[in-house]
Amino acid sequence: MLRKFGALLAAATFISTLAVTEVGTAQAAPADPGFCGVRHSGPNQGADMLETYTVYNKCGFQINVRVVVQGQVLGCELIDPYSYGVFQSYRASPDWIVQNC
Protein backbone atom coordinates (compact mmCIF):
# COMPACT_ATOMS: atom_id res chain seq x y z
CA MET A 1 0.00 0.00 0.00
CA LEU A 2 2.83 2.41 0.87
CA ARG A 3 4.62 1.58 -2.39
CA LYS A 4 1.52 2.45 -4.42
CA PHE A 5 1.06 5.69 -2.47
CA GLY A 6 4.75 6.55 -2.92
CA ALA A 7 4.58 5.86 -6.65
CA LEU A 8 1.42 7.95 -6.95
CA LEU A 9 3.03 10.81 -5.02
CA ALA A 10 6.16 10.65 -7.21
CA ALA A 11 4.04 10.72 -10.37
CA ALA A 12 2.01 13.70 -9.13
CA THR A 13 5.21 15.58 -8.24
CA PHE A 14 6.68 14.85 -11.68
CA ILE A 15 3.54 16.04 -13.50
CA SER A 16 3.31 19.24 -11.43
CA THR A 17 6.99 19.95 -12.18
CA LEU A 18 6.30 19.66 -15.90
CA ALA A 19 3.30 22.00 -15.63
CA VAL A 20 5.34 24.66 -13.83
CA THR A 21 8.18 24.34 -16.34
CA GLU A 22 5.82 24.79 -19.31
CA VAL A 23 4.28 27.97 -17.86
CA GLY A 24 7.68 29.47 -17.09
CA THR A 25 9.05 29.08 -20.64
CA ALA A 26 6.35 31.10 -22.46
CA GLN A 27 7.82 34.28 -23.93
CA ALA A 28 6.79 36.95 -26.42
CA ALA A 29 8.24 36.75 -29.91
CA PRO A 30 11.42 38.83 -30.25
CA ALA A 31 9.90 40.93 -33.06
CA ASP A 32 6.79 41.80 -31.03
CA PRO A 33 7.13 45.40 -29.76
CA GLY A 34 4.04 45.10 -27.56
CA PHE A 35 1.35 47.75 -27.52
CA CYS A 36 2.69 50.95 -29.10
CA GLY A 37 0.22 53.52 -27.73
CA VAL A 38 1.15 54.49 -24.18
CA ARG A 39 -0.39 57.05 -21.83
CA HIS A 40 1.79 60.14 -21.65
CA SER A 41 -0.17 62.73 -19.68
CA GLY A 42 -3.66 63.67 -18.63
CA PRO A 43 -6.11 64.72 -17.68
CA ASN A 44 -4.86 68.28 -18.07
CA GLN A 45 -7.14 71.31 -18.04
CA GLY A 46 -7.37 72.78 -21.54
CA ALA A 47 -9.39 75.55 -23.14
CA ASP A 48 -13.20 75.73 -22.78
CA MET A 49 -13.23 73.39 -19.76
CA LEU A 50 -11.96 70.51 -21.91
CA GLU A 51 -9.59 67.95 -20.42
CA THR A 52 -6.71 66.83 -22.65
CA TYR A 53 -5.23 63.34 -22.74
CA THR A 54 -1.90 62.75 -24.51
CA VAL A 55 -0.83 59.40 -25.99
CA TYR A 56 2.73 58.61 -27.12
CA ASN A 57 3.54 56.23 -30.00
CA LYS A 58 6.67 54.38 -28.87
CA CYS A 59 7.00 52.38 -32.11
CA GLY A 60 8.60 53.13 -35.48
CA PHE A 61 5.36 52.92 -37.47
CA GLN A 62 1.99 54.70 -37.53
CA ILE A 63 -0.76 53.48 -35.22
CA ASN A 64 -4.49 54.12 -34.86
CA VAL A 65 -5.61 54.53 -31.26
CA ARG A 66 -8.50 55.93 -29.28
CA VAL A 67 -8.91 56.97 -25.66
CA VAL A 68 -11.71 55.81 -23.35
CA VAL A 69 -12.59 58.06 -20.40
CA GLN A 70 -15.31 56.90 -17.98
CA GLY A 71 -16.99 54.89 -20.75
CA GLN A 72 -16.81 57.72 -23.30
CA VAL A 73 -14.90 56.63 -26.41
CA LEU A 74 -12.93 59.47 -27.96
CA GLY A 75 -12.36 59.33 -31.73
CA CYS A 76 -9.80 57.19 -33.50
CA GLU A 77 -6.60 59.07 -34.33
CA LEU A 78 -3.57 58.23 -36.47
CA ILE A 79 -0.31 58.89 -34.62
CA ASP A 80 3.03 59.04 -36.46
CA PRO A 81 6.07 57.07 -35.21
CA TYR A 82 7.57 58.44 -31.98
CA SER A 83 4.95 61.22 -31.90
CA TYR A 84 2.11 62.32 -29.66
CA GLY A 85 -1.66 62.35 -30.15
CA VAL A 86 -3.94 64.63 -28.13
CA PHE A 87 -7.53 63.74 -27.26
CA GLN A 88 -10.10 66.03 -25.62
CA SER A 89 -13.10 65.34 -23.41
CA TYR A 90 -15.31 67.15 -20.91
CA ARG A 91 -14.82 64.20 -18.56
CA ALA A 92 -11.84 64.10 -16.21
CA SER A 93 -10.58 60.79 -14.87
CA PRO A 94 -7.14 59.44 -13.94
CA ASP A 95 -8.34 55.97 -15.04
CA TRP A 96 -8.40 56.55 -18.80
CA ILE A 97 -7.21 53.87 -21.22
CA VAL A 98 -5.72 53.66 -24.72
CA GLN A 99 -7.08 51.14 -27.25
CA ASN A 100 -6.29 50.16 -30.83
CA CYS A 101 -8.92 51.10 -33.40
User: What is the per-residue pLDDT across 72-89, written as a single tens digit (0 to 9) for each?
Assistant: 999 899 999 999 999 999
Render pLDDT for 29-86 as a digit per residue (tens, 0 to 9). 444 556 888 888 888 887 788 999 999 999 999 999 999 999 899 989 999 999 999 9
Whether this model's pTM surpasses 0.75: no
Q: 37 burial class (0-12, 13-18, 19+ CB within 10 angstroms)?
A: buried
Inside any domain, residue 30: no
Q: Of 67, 62, 66, nearest to 92 (Cα)? A: 67
**Is the residue at 73 inside a domain?**
yes
CA atoms within 13 A on the CB side of 53: 26
Q: Which amino acid is at 47?
A: A
Residue 63, in any domain of the structure? yes
Domain residue limits at 53: 37-100
Separation between Cα atoms, residue 5 and residue 35, nearest integer Å: 49
Q: Residue 71 — φ and ψ, nearest 5°?
A: 85, -15
